[in-house]
Structure 1
């Protein structure tokens, strides 16, 4: 997941760098114009402002950090009389980007005083030439679209922002990490096979599941769909197998016998995998059993990491 950080730069350069390193250590990629190692892209055919806007468009999330500076307006470059940060905010809204909007607590306090008494307001923290910042805050906080995320998150220092980001981006991070693990084969997947034979007038359907990964998994549910019951975690170590069997009366030639099996298990880091399999078997004209097991659905769910306690 790619994140764009928007703020004035020179007064917040240390804070921006700290947030950048925190996010990349968490697993995100970040677009930050002043750090060469970031994912910020350069476009030789675009101006500096258009380059920033294009990087924002290519990002999944936008973080705004508002302090005491609004920034210079850029109307002399053919844009509205707004700062670059304000332009980036409008572009994020135009492109329906998820936004996290952080404001220094002192700035937010003065905004609320200004809003309640604009004519009698005397600034203490914000310089008069930076009053455009109140317009940006108002644009975000007073959105008339109730479906918008117009939360304002005050902060005192970078520690506050990092703590908030860990909470606000937890689910997007987990989803991103899950997608990566699936793509790179890090999620343990059971290998299913079926072994069937005839015993007298019965057919024995034996379905076997092997943990082919390098990780132990924690089985939560295992059984035929109509008889499924949850149970305490059961460990299945790498290369270990678990099987389930059914006995059917010998079918007529060409008749198909079938059943559904549910296997649900968790990984150590809290990813739950629920798979549904269908078994099929039929007797052919040569009195031989033709059989197979097919995966019908496989679903992934992000849950809390597995907790294990041991008795003495």
Structure 2
């Protein structure tokens, strides 16, 4: 994932270097004009501003960081008479790029004060030549399109900023970690099968068999069974926060090419019932992952008191240790 960092450079040189390191250590690709080890693509046949815009257009996400300086205006260089950061923000919106927007807390305080007083002499952080910063904030704060994110976050120092950026990029970072693990072959693969034991409406007793087809053992496996229409519904509604939404079974560790099984009673309340069987486990290297299987149980329309049961592998997911402990300790 390519992330373009837009900010003034000279006053934020340390923050930009720290952000560049954070992104690289997280497996993300930083696009920064002032960092020699970033993936910024220099175009020798175009000027520096147009080169930045080309790199921005080729990025997947744009991060805007505002602090004290607005930057020189570009009107005399053939561009709109605004700063480079302002121009890059406008280009990101024009290109429908996702934008993460951060500002120094002192800038936010001055912005709120200026909105009330319109008196630049009362400002403590922003100088008169840098009032253009307020124009960027004002443009971003307006909700002009339901698909545009107009949220912003304030920070007091680089630690605050990196922590917030890590939170906002958590999904992308965990996906990269998961992809790296899968490619390394250091993860089990747990596939679930079933055997129907008995059915007396509305109760179904089923034997679930968890097979490890990977080349690594699954340590401390825990199975959660949750009723939902889609797996995304489980995530969006934080089903695992309420223990009443799922049932838990703890298994012994599963070696490669071995299996573990258990009996599970399920209530069939509708003609078409969808459950998700999620097996959480630890790897030898300490990561926590899960393999998710979709269980579809449909009442037969041909034969009374008969069921059509299908299992299908859904996904592998990266899990935080905190989430695993909460589920495992139910």
Aligned match of 2:173: 173
Aligned match of 1:32: 32
Q: What is the Cα deviation at residue 275 of structure 1?
A: 3.6
Aligned match of 1:21: 21
CA separation of 1:17/1:221 partners in 2, compared to 1, >3 Å: closer, same or farther? Answer: closer
Q: What is the Cα deviation at residue 46 of structure 1?
A: 2.5
Aligned match of 2:45: 45
CA separation of 1:267/1:11 partners in 2, compared to 1, >3 Å: closer, same or farther? Answer: same
- The more displaced of 3-12 and 212-221 is 212-221
Q: Is the 8 A contact 1:106 1:125 kept in 2?
A: yes
Q: Distance in 1 between matches of 2:179 and 2:55?
A: 23
Secondary structure of residue in 1 paired with 2:291: strand
Q: Distance in 2 between matches of 1:276 and 1:105?
A: 46
Alignment of 1:180-191 (within 5 A): 180-190=180-190
Q: Distance in 1 between matches of 2:316 and 2:292?
A: 7
CA separation of 1:44/1:192 partners in 2, compared to 1, >3 Å: closer, same or farther? Answer: same
Q: Distance in 1 between matches of 2:312 and 2:288?
A: 23
Aligned match of 2:279: 265
Aligned match of 1:297: 313
Aligned match of 1:7: 7
Alignment of 1:179-258 (within 5 A): 179-190=179-190, 209-221=211-223, 230-239=247-256, 241-242=258-259
Q: What is the Cα deviation at residue 243 of structure 1?
A: 6.2
Q: What is the Cα deviation at residue 36 of structure 1?
A: 1.1
CA separation of 1:40/1:121 partners in 2, compared to 1, >3 Å: closer, same or farther? Answer: same
Of Structure 1 and Structure 2, which has the larger fraction of its residues in helix?
2
CA separation of 1:235/1:243 partners in 2, compared to 1, >3 Å: closer, same or farther? Answer: closer
Aligned match of 2:105: 105
Q: CA RMSD in A?
A: 3.6
Q: Distance in 1 between matches of 2:82 and 2:133?
A: 10
CA separation of 1:176/1:97 partners in 2, compared to 1, >3 Å: closer, same or farther? Answer: farther
Q: Is the 8 A contact 2:3 2:62 kept in 1?
A: yes
Aligned match of 2:303: none
Q: Could you say which structure has the larger radius of gyration?
A: 1
Q: What is the Cα deviation at residue 295 of structure 1?
A: 8.2
Q: What is the Cα deviation at residue 242 of structure 1?
A: 1.6
CA separation of 1:54/1:16 partners in 2, compared to 1, >3 Å: closer, same or farther? Answer: same
Q: Is the 8 A contact 2:223 2:280 kept in 1?
A: no
Q: Distance in 2 between matches of 1:46 and 1:8?
A: 20
Q: What is the Cα deviation at residue 115 of structure 1?
A: 1.2
Q: Is the 8 A contact 2:191 2:293 kept in 1?
A: no
Q: What is the Cα deviation at residue 93 of structure 1?
A: 1.2
Cα shift readout 1:264-310 (whole Å, capped 9, x = no counterpart): 422323322124699xxxxxxxxxxxxxxx984332334433339x9
Q: Distance in 1 between matches of 2:210 and 2:106?
A: 63
Q: Is the 8 A contact 2:210 2:259 kept in 1?
A: yes
Q: What is the Cα deviation at residue 119 of structure 1?
A: 4.9
Q: What is the Cα deviation at residue 27 of structure 1?
A: 2.6
Size of the aligned set, in residue pairs, is 266
Unaligned runs of 5+ in 2: 194-208, 226-245, 263-275, 297-309
Q: Is the 8 A contact 2:219 2:253 kept in 1?
A: yes
Q: Is the 8 A contact 1:220 1:234 kept in 2?
A: yes
Alignment of 1:66-85 (within 5 A): 66-85=66-85
Aligned match of 1:86: 86
Q: Distance in 1 between matches of 2:256 and 2:161?
A: 44
Q: Under a length normalisation based on structure 2, what TM-score does the superposition of the two structures give?
A: 0.68
Q: What is the Cα deviation at residue 3 of structure 1?
A: 1.6
